[in-house]
């Protein structure tokens, strides 16, 4: 219904191929819908062709792309390239948790000669869309966006030119642990266990509510946010609605949490973690290939790799590694879809937000059990705030996150855990299905800490690709967000 200054437009939105996360996208869709925009939401795991064909056939005014996992960033670049190739000149909006103004400026905008705009959250979406569709305001907005992106590219190039350590030097500067029997705990079992005896009511106790509010773009820590001058009223209403729906889900057992975890004999060899088939340690089951920090770190601090936290094969210590995968329930999608069919977008999004919180809570709850099984957590008595602040020994890093940013290692993790047996699978981009799932490794050493690998150089990527038996181009594609160099240069 174009015509006059009241004109509202039509936007096609999708979570890109290989990705299943859509809470943020759905909130943006609802907000735009409430502001009289026509939203065509193609859902999740949408191929580039489907997005662009819809945009052309439906005569859309804008295209909105969403994604959570880092491989989605690559797919967004692909969509931008294809828009350029086809001569589609619609504004392209980019959003989602891993996206950023910098990534949009550095990777996406240069591939597309029209406006590519990063939209930080739903509250800003309406302003951005209305400006882009206003013939008077749009030119200046686009010009400012281009200038900002040039600035961000300049800053990025400067950061990228900061020297990195040669990989051999980074390995030499690794974290050197003095291994002792006390620190190398022996789990009470090795191998795999299915978890089907933890109820939703038990899991609920472990929920960190802060992230529930941030999913709805209310910023602040729980419970303080409930008293916030800015967000308090909205937060209290949201919390009451969330609690009410959660109580119904628990009472009616509308979600079935499922999980699997275990411990395996393990040792480190360089930056690899060897996982053995059994306690004889004679045959390798698999190797997790890890990355190491290559930045020059001040104060002589070590360049860390997760492999540093596992006793080396020649140390004489019989170390173990743990692993887990959990989901709060495959039914969340159907529940959300049922609300959406009744045109209840609010509760459709609420179900997914609660399912995500329950999945994270399940991971926290299971980690507590794993620490007891590992012996060193037997005497733990931690409050909820202690758990949130991770006051316990050990860590549970997830593939795709800063300490182990390569999503492809998740394939090995899922094989080790036989995660399919509890209904958790991976997309082609290594996103987990159901979306409300969490997986990762358990490290039990007292010195184990989370860290960010950060930028890495070509020498490490080449070594990593060789260890993974992967070609260099593929390794660079999967590690794109970490590269401290331009692979095309």
Angle at 395 between CA 416 and CA 280, to 5 degrees: 45
Enter the DSSP assignment of 33. Answer: H
Task: Collect all residues with Cβ–Cβ distance below 8 Å to 260 and sequence separation of at least 6.
Answer: 192, 193, 194, 195, 324, 325, 326, 417, 418, 419, 421, 422
Which residues, other chains included, contact 343 with Cβ-Cβ below 8 Å and sequence gap of 6+? Answer: none
The residues assigned a catalytic role are: 19, 21, 72
Cα→Cα distances 25→8, 15, 22, 253, 452, Å: 19, 7, 5, 27, 27
Comparing CA positions, the residue from 268, 290, 269 lying closest to residue 479 is 290
Query: What is the C-alpha to C-alpha distance for residues 197 and 208, in angstroms, rounded to an integer?
Result: 21
Judged on CB neighbours under 10 Å (0-12, 13-18, 19+), 59 is exposed
Beta-sheet pairing, 10-15 with 38-41:
parallel
Q: Which residue has the tokens 């925009």?
A: 37
Q: What is the 3-state secondary structure (H, E, C) of 96-140?
A: CCCCCHHHHHHHHHHHCCCCEEECCCHHHHHHHHHHHCCCCCHHH
Q: Are 20 and 352 within 8 A, CB to CB?
A: no
CA distance 185 to 179: 11
For the CA atoms of 392, 443, 322, 418, what is the dihedral angle to 10 degrees?
Answer: 110
Q: What is the CA radius of gyration of the chain?
A: 24
Closest CA to 83 of 62, 126, 112, 56: 112
Is 50 exposed, middle or buried (CB count within 10 Å of its CB: 0-12, 13-18, 19+)?
middle
Query: CA angle, corner 323, sides to 322 and 329, nearest 5?
Result: 145
Is the CB of residue 67 less than 8 Å from the CB of residue 21? yes
CB 76 within 8 A of CB 16: yes
CB 409, CB 291: distance < 8 Å = no
């Amino acid at each position: 219904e174009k015509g006059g200054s009241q004109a509202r437009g039509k936007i096609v939105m999708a979570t890109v191929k290989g990705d299943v996360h859509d809470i943020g996208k759905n909130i943006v869709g609802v907000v735009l819908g409430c502001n009289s925009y026509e939203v065509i939401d193609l859902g999740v795991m949408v191929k580039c062709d489907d997005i662009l064909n819809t945009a052309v056939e439906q005569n859309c005014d804008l295209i909105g792309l969403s994604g959570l996992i880092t491989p989605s960033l690559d797919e967004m670049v692909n969509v931008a390239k294809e828009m350029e190739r086809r001569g589609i000149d619609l504004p392209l909006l980019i959003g989602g948790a891993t996206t950023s103004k910098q990534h949009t400026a550095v990777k996406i905008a240069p591939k597309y000669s029209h406006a590519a705009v990063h939209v930080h959250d739903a509250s800003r979406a309406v302003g951005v869309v209305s400006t882009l569709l206003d013939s008077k305001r749009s030119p200046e907005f686009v010009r400012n966006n281009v200038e900002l992106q040039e600035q961000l590219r300049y800053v990025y190039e400067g950061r990228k030119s900061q020297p990195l350590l040669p990989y051999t030097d980074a390995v030499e500067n690794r974290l050197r642990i003095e291994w002792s029997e006390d620190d190398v705990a022996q789990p009470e079992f090795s191998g795999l266990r299915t978890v089907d005896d933890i109820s939703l009511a038990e899991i609920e106790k472990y929920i960190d509510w802060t992230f529930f509010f941030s999913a709805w773009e209310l910023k602040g820590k729980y419970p303080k946010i409930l008293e916030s001058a800015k967000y308090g009223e909205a937060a209290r209403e949201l919390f009451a609605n969330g609690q009410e729906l959660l109580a119904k889900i628990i009472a009616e057992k509308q979600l079935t949490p499922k999980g699997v975890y275990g411990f395996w004999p393990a040792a480190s060899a360089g930056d690899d973690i060897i996982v053995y088939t059994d306690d004889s340690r004679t045959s390798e089951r698999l190797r997790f290939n890890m990355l190491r920090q290559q930045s020059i770190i001040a104060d002589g601090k070590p360049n860390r790799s997760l492999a540093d936290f596992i006793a080396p094969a020649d140390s004489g210590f019989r170390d173990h590694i743990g692993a887990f995968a959990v989901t709060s329930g495959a039914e969340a999608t159907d529940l959300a879809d049922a609300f959406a069919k009744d045109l209840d977008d609010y509760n459709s999004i609420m179900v997914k937000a609660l399912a995500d919180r329950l999945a994270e809570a399940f991971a926290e709850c299971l980690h507590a059990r794993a620490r007891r099984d590992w012996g060193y957590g037997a005497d733990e008595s931690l409050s909820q705030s202690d758990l949130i602040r991770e006051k316990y020994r050990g860590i549970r890093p997830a593939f795709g996150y800063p300490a182990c940013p390569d999503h492809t290692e998740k394939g090995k993790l899922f094989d080790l855990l036989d995660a399919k047996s509890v209904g958790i699978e991976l997309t082609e981009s290594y996103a987990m299905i159901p979306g409300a799932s969490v997986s990762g490794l358990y490290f039990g050493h007292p010195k184990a800490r989370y860290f960010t690998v950060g930028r890495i150089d070509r020498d490490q990527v080449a070594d990593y690709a060789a260890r993974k038996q992967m070609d260099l181009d593929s390794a660079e594609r999967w590690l794109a967000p970490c590269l401290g160099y331009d692979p095309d240069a």
